[in-house]
Amino acid sequence: MYRIIEHTADIGIEACGKNIEEAFENAAKGMFSIITNNGKIERKIERKIEIAREGDDEMLLVDWLSELIYLHDVEKLVFGDFRVKINDKLVATAYGEKYDRAKHGYGVEIKGVAYHMLEIKRNKKGFVIRVLFDI
Amino acid sequence: MWNGPLNKIDDYRYEIPKSYKGIDGKLNMRVPGMIYALPEMLPLIRKDNAPEQTANVATLPGIVGRSLAMPDIHWGYGFPIGGVAATEYEEGVISPGGVGFDINCGVRLVRTNIKFEQINKSIIKELTDELFKNIPSGVGSEAKIKLNKPQLDEVLQMGARWAVEHGYGWEEDLEYLEENGCMEEADASAVSEKAKERGMSQVGSLGAGNHFLEIQKVEEIFDENAAKIYGIEKNQIVVMIHTGSRGCGHQICTDYLRVLEQAVKKYKIELPDRQLACAPLKSKEGEQYFKGMACAANFAWANRQMIVHWVRQSFEKIFKEDAENMGMKIVYDVCHNIAKIEEHEIDGKRMKVCVHRKGATRSFGPDSSEIPGKYRSIGQPVLIPGDMGSESYLLKGTKKAEEAFGSTCHGAGRVMSREEAKRRWRGSEIARMLEGKGIYAHPASMVVMAEESPDAYKDVSMVVNATHGAGLSLKVARMVPLGVVKG
């Protein structure tokens, strides 16, 4: 589950999950819904992603989303589904396909993931992530 | 809503006192803050938390003079957009948050000998469509050429010169670019493989969002003498290009935010906001970021240079005339997201400082050695893009701007989120409204049209009047759009 949060010149997401892995998955889904303007993304291609943990959960989240932006930019891929495992590092599979403007819609070009107001909170139901993007 | 103190200094200057964040904590302001604005702009400026960000910037180690904000100030990440700060060269810090993700996002203006009377609506449409076809734009836009890594390294080191040496533009173009289109501090070894991969397919692309390419008409001249020296006259057709360093610069910012996040702990720097991550200029991390940032700046200059080449080609095709004969010279090129080592007079002392301009433009006045000889009697051209329905400005830099480390405003700034704009308007409505004003727009999508609706932006004329009144830059000419290419 995620929802888009907006501010005058920027955009972000609030993503929840029963554990931190699910919250990371939903944050990524939310990010691609912004990039594609909510187009349906099929599972045609998968990419394995591994990210070493070099700081706190927040930094790991920024690294995770930044890696996906990089893959999107270089390989022109969009992803709609994710499996994330986090222990001493993040190991994930991202499922998606080549970006097609006509099929996926035309959203916003995300320049980067901001540390500004970045937050990962634990509550009774699990985890809530708040993250903003520079667009 | 921000309710902090904004003490009026004069009709254009409002100070946030140094004591605002207390006087005995770890996060005190080291210098006062100052916001340039017209009185009627203050409610809007107070609406978001941007003044607080101006105060936050004032806590950075080594900051000198004042933490400044231009009249187009709005809430950003770390620094406000419209923020200007100078840090002391030997002891101060450098912060990627003071530059932004789109390093050397900037504006370039190309003049022509073509007069408004010589063209008509169908020529504008043809020309705009040709520009749209010739210059890749939109989300994920890829350039027409793909460079290999050694070539990209050359771009990162050489900037606009690389483009000119490879046939994109004229030798004389380089003279009319800020820094002559190259920051010499660039070192491609400070740029990650990822950033290079993102750069390889994007040199010569417009990108998306607020970036644009416009065919404009010079509508009004305020300063005949300066306009003449810049080669500008009433009813002339000019072309404005607004874009930056694309994915390459975004990745360099992303990479170094992370490095500097760690450096904050290493150098025990106390910050009020994580996005203000920084390192001493003289540290390894600070030096590496500066070299990488300079590479991104060079990428952006090469990018705009290639776009100019295709703009000239498009004009040649439509008018069946050489670009030289059409007088398509570059008036100037400015960056509005950058950090630079410059010398300024601060509290009566000449100092070497690192000036961060985030959503702010350099505005050097007459006699500056950094500006083209031809412009030295009047100051550098300052280019202020507006939104697509209204107007853009050509200003001139002033000696007075020295109080702001030679800086002025950069544009309009949004007043409404993209989502709100999309809820309010349909892209086709905006297209019709523009058509009614005699503006033909070719956007990458109708969604962009709604998002970039003129009413979603602040009134750029008010921003320009505020800096004119404060003396940071003076009005030379006003341009209105005729044809718009939107990413």
pLDDT digits (tens, 9 = 90+) for B391-432: 999 999 999 999 999 999 999 877 888 888 888 888 888 888
Q: Given an 8 Å threshold on Cβ–Cβ distance, is B419 in contact with A111?
A: no
Identify the contact set of chain A against chain B, taking CB-CB distances under 8 A: 4, 6-11, 35, 37, 54-55, 59, 62-63, 66, 69-70, 72-74, 76, 99, 101, 105-109, 111-116, 118, 132, 134-135
Contact status, residue A98 vs residue A36, Cβ threshold 8 Å: no
**pLDDT at residue B449 greater than cutoff 90:** no
**pLDDT at residue B218 greater than cutoff 90:** yes
Say what the pTM is.
0.96
Contact status, residue B135 vs residue B156, Cβ threshold 8 Å: no
Q: Which residues pair with A126 in a beta bridge?
A: A123
Band (pLDDT 50/70/90 cuts) for residue B286 is very high
The overall average pLDDT reported for chain A is: 93
- Report the alpha-carbon distance of residue A78 to residue B426 in Å, rounded: 26
Nearest to B275 among A9, A54, A116 (CB): A116
- This complex has an ipTM of 0.93
> Is residue A124 exposed (0-12), middle (13-18) or buried (19+ Cβ within 10 Å)?
exposed
User: Encoding tokens for residue B352?
Assistant: 């070497």
Please, what is the Cα angle at A72 between A67 and A74, to 5 degrees? 95
Q: Given an 8 Å threshold on Cβ–Cβ distance, is B138 in contact with A7?
A: no
Q: Which residues pair with B33 in a beta bridge?
A: B16, B67
pLDDT digit string, tens, across residues B355-368? 999 999 999 999 99
Contact status, residue B71 vs residue B82, Cβ threshold 8 Å: yes
Band (pLDDT 50/70/90 cuts) for residue A127 is very high
Q: Given an 8 Å threshold on Cβ–Cβ distance, is A11 in contact with B418?
A: yes
Catalytic residue among B166, B242, B336, B410: B410
Element (H, E) at B324: none
Q: Is B211 one of the annotated active-site residues of the chain?
A: no
Closest Cα of chain A to B78: distance in Å? 7
pLDDT digit string, tens, across residues B309-368? 999 999 999 999 999 999 999 999 999 999 999 999 998 999 999 999 999 999 999 999
- Using the Cβ of B209 and the Cβ atoms of chain A, whether some distance falls under 8 Å is answered with yes
- For residue B273, what is the nearest residue in chain A, using CA coordinates? A116
Kindly list the residues from chain B whose CB atom is less than 8 angstroms away from the CB atom of residue A115: 77-78, 257, 261, 274-275, 277
Contact status, residue B326 vs residue B231, Cβ threshold 8 Å: no
Band (pLDDT 50/70/90 cuts) for residue B222 is very high
**pLDDT at residue B453 greater than cutoff 90:** no
**Per-residue burial over A102-111, b = 16 or more CB atoms within 10 Å of its CB, e = otherwise:** eebbbbbbbb
The overall average pLDDT reported for chain B is: 94
How confident is the model at residue A135, as a pLDDT? 86
- Report the alpha-carbon distance of residue B97 to residue B100 in Å, rounded: 5
Closest Cα of chain A to B381: distance in Å? 27
**Per-residue burial over B431-454, b = 16 or more CB atoms within 10 Å of its CB, e = otherwise:** bebbeeeebbbbbbbebbbbbbbb
First to last CA, chain B: 32
- Report the alpha-carbon distance of residue B483 to residue B123 in Å, rounded: 10
Across residues B220-238, what is the average pLDDT? 98
- Report the alpha-carbon distance of residue B366 to residue B349 in Å, rounded: 20
Band (pLDDT 50/70/90 cuts) for residue B262 is very high
Nearest to B247 among A73, A105, A132 (CB): A73
- Report the alpha-carbon distance of residue B193 to residue B462 in Å, rounded: 43
Beta-carbon contacts of residue A96 (< 8 Å; ≥ 6 apart) = A32, A41, A42, A43, A44, A45, A46, A47, A77, A78, A79, A80, A81
**pLDDT at residue B234 greater than cutoff 70:** yes
pLDDT digit string, tens, across residues B30-69? 999 999 999 999 998 998 889 999 999 999 999 999 999 9
Nearest to B140 among A37, A76, A118 (CB): A76
- Chain B, residues 328-367, CB within 8 A of chain A, namely none
- Report the alpha-carbon distance of residue B79 to residue B96 in Å, rounded: 9
Nearest residue to B299 via CA among B161, B131, B167: B161
- Using the Cβ of B417 and the Cβ atoms of chain A, whether some distance falls under 8 Å is answered with yes
Q: Given an 8 Å threshold on Cβ–Cβ distance, is A59 in contact with B258?
A: yes
Longest CA–CA span in chain B (Å) reads: 70
